[in-house]
Amino acid sequence: MRVLVTGAAGFIGSHLVEFLLAHGHDVVGVDCFRPHYDVEARQHNLAEVQESPFAAQRFSFFTEDLATADLGPLLEGTSAVFHLAGRPGVRDSWGSSFSSYLHDNIFVTQRIAEGMLEFGVPRIVFASSSSVYGELGDRVKAGEHDEPRPLSPYGVTKLAAERLLLSYQDCFGIDVVALRYFTIYGPRQRNDMAIQKFIQAGLRKEKIFVYGDGTQQRALTFVEDCVRATIAGLSLPPAVYNVAGEKVVSLHQILDVIDAALPEPLQRVYSARQAGDVSATVADTSRLQASGFAAVVPFEEGIAQQVATEKKHFALLLERA
């Protein structure tokens, strides 16, 4: 099967491309390398993908802005789109940068949907976010039938992109699988994400800033589990699905596990919680589990893998210094 992966050089996208190639798919990847997060890191991700034994025969890559690109070479002959490209980040979505979130998360999604109609692509697997839910309130877990109440402009744009695609499904018959990711972590995590920042600061023996009191809860999802769920989107019934690990941990627990994997404990500095950060993201994953999927990588093992990867990168940086 020939598939398109947008955001193919990103954290999740690069892992997804590797898994798809390993499972026999032909993959078209696209990324525009926007500078809102580390271009060098994404170039490194792409280089690792291109080292795959399957890449030379079955992977083609385009550096394109999907807002202006000719979509024909990307979509023609494609059976499905994995749409992971977009502008990430809750805290940066306030203020003047909101226009870029509208552009990258909504306009680009609409353009892809129109391209799918033009070139007869029947299915899209869309990377949404737990940020669409907002605070849990009286709920124990967030379920797909719950009313979304995003607390950040980022969450608003992800919800709008979901609803936009569902409009194309209702009116034009495109199959839409929207996956609401819950706190994905693991090797290649973006440098602006909390776990990666904590690990890198610990290796450099720098202080870390903890926003809030550390009791915030997260349903962490290891990137390998996230990718398996995403590939399952090729055959899942069209719907919205939560994608999350089963173990819910506090920020204190996350920091303690990172401490255990580092040479020295983290130097923690606590400050006020940031606007848009929710106190808990806990997922009801029963809909996805009913399809036979379950997250399998234990939280402690996933953190250990991420720390080990960063230790190797840090050692290489020291050698070059």
Residues annotated as part of the active site:
154
Q: Are residues 106 and 161 in contact, defined by beta-carbon separation less than 8 angstroms?
A: yes
Three-state secondary structure string covering the chain:
CEEEEECCCCHHHHHHHHHHHHCCCEEEEEECCCCCCCHHHHHHHHHHHHCCCCHHHHEEEEECCCCCCCCHHHHCCCCEEEECCCCCCCHHHCHHHHHHHHHHHHHHHHHHHHHHHHHCCCEEEEEEEHHHCCCCCCCCCECCCCCCCCCCHHHHHHHHHHHHHHHHHHHHCCEEEEEEECCEECCCCCCCCHHHHHHHHHHHCCEEEEECCCCCEEECEEHHHHHHHHHHCCCCCCEEEEECCCCEEEHHHHHHHHHHHCCCCCEEEEECCCCCCCCEECECCHHHHCCCCCCCCCHHHHHHHHHHHHHHHHHHHHHHC
Q: Residues of 52-75 as b/e, b for ≥16 C-beta within 10 angstroms?
A: eebbeeebebbebebeebebeebb
Instruction: Quote the CA–CA distance of 134 and 298 in Å, as a whole number.
Output: 26
Structure tokens at 102: 């509208």
Report how far residue 243's alpha carbon sits from residue 226's, in angstroms, rounded to the nearest whole number. Answer: 7
Q: Which residue from 23, 18, 10, 11 is spatially nearest to 59, judged by alpha carbons?
A: 18
